[in-house]
Structure 1
Amino acid sequence: MPDSDLLLIGLGNPGAKYDFNRHNVGFLIIDELARRWGFSLSAGKWQSQSCRERKWGSRVLMVKPQTFMNRSGQAVAEFAKFYKIPLQHIIVIHDDLDMHPGRLKLVQGGGAGGHNGIRSITQSLGGNDFFRLKIGIGRPGRGEVHPEIPVESYVLSNMGAEEQEILESRFDPIEEGLRTFIESGVAKAMSLINSIK
């Protein structure tokens, strides 16, 4: 997709108390990519932090909606409409309860799976043909994941040290996967990202 726009959305909740919540991995990844690329997100349009810069021959529009998770779609739809970005050029980065911590998966379409941010985006865009970069956080009660914690409390709790280390180890393959998406297409990007178990 050379010389076209990629709308890269990170999902999370605004405010310092949410910074390292499992539900905020989308924000954390956007922040790390912006740091690596020398981009500076600023508050502005449509209750979001955003920036629009060139990377790998394309224009990358990075957005962190500040509307709280359940209304993320409002901001996403405004950016997509204003910049005339088709759903196939949108990637939403978000947490996924049904994958173990650190698992990566790039998919197109599909249901919300109980994720209110994805549900809001699908409703606001009028379709689900956008891409989703899902980051596994594990579901409480499965495997070794905190069986005593209700789901709502689990996603809004901070990651432990081991979880943060796992997430940090995924920054390189996520960056490489996005570069591949832009330069070489969806199939190669999926092959690369979805191999990270």
Structure 2
Amino acid sequence: MKMIVGLGNPGSEYAKTRHNAGFMVVDRLCALHARGEVAKGRFGAATIDATIAGEKCLLLKPTTYMNLSGRAVAEAVRFYKIDPIADMLVIVDDLYLPVGRVRARSGGSAGGHNGLSDIQRAIGTDAYPRVRVGVGLRPNGGKPPMMDQADFVLSRFGADEEDDLNASIETAAKAAATFVQRGIDVCMNECNAPASEPKRAAEDSKTTRERPVDGSERKD
């Protein structure tokens, strides 16, 4: 069994903020692969079963705030006896990647991300795979607005970023499926290759209704 974790903050006020990119990807995976009903509250998270590439998976979104994400992850890891190094993937926003970029890593430091730091603390290792979704620097080299970093990650994406954001969500969802089917090494090779740079999202991906893991209807 594999577990795919999307990081973000709960509540409608955070729904489309940069810090919730991980939630957005897991919602997309839910729309593509989930079965059954969303379970709320267990492990301090919203969870749903999914089948990806023929393998049973658990999609999980912590319902605590970002800096307390570790509790839900650690409880699910213990309950399902999941090996976090081989069988868990965390999808997270990355301030230092431009919108539209997606990168995969087999492990490493939290890089100042509070959600990753708390997961590392809770499970006792930083050697767990993750997919990083860019929310920061613009692809053309433009820098984020001059504002506090915390304020920036809690800001919403601009209209001019929507196409690149949608493309990166699709790319990250595909990377998660590759991880499930073929492991993190192949996922990194495919996701990090120059040829895998996201293009503009197709119009049909913008109109597809997503099924959020928290059980609510997405409101665009």
Query: What is the TM-score normalised by the length of structure 1?
Result: 0.90
- Contact 2:129–2:184 (CA<8 Å) still a contact in 1? no
2:160 is equivalent to residue 159 of structure 1: no
- For residue 11 of structure 1, what is the aligned residue in structure 2? 7
* 1:39-50 → structure 2 map (5 Å cutoff): 39=35, 40-50=37-47
* 1:70-81 → structure 2 map (5 Å cutoff): 70-81=67-78
Deviations 1:7-64 (A, max 9, x none): 1000000000000010000111111111122444331302210012332121110000
AA partner of residue 173 (structure 1): T
Distance 1:80 1:36 in 2: 23
2:51 is equivalent to residue 54 of structure 1: yes
| Percent identical residues | 34
- For residue 145 of structure 2, what is the aligned residue in structure 1? 147
Q: Please point out which of 16, 29, 35 is paired with 1:33.
A: 29
Distance 2:74 2:16 in 1: 26
Distance 1:10 1:147 in 2: 26
Change (3 A) 1:113 1:50: same
How far off its partner does 1:172 sit? Answer: 3.1
**Structure 1 unaligned runs (5+)?**
none
**Structure 2 unaligned runs (5+)?**
198-220
2:133 is equivalent to residue 135 of structure 1: yes
Q: Secondary structure at the match of 1:170?
A: helix
Query: Number of aligned pairs?
Result: 192
2:172 is equivalent to residue 180 of structure 1: no
- Contact 2:7–2:90 (CA<8 Å) still a contact in 1? yes
AA partner of residue 12 (structure 1): G
Change (3 A) 1:171 1:101: closer
How far off its partner does 1:97 sit? Answer: 1.1
Q: Please point out which of 122, 125, 128 is paired with 1:124.
A: 122
How far off its partner does 1:96 sit? Answer: 0.7
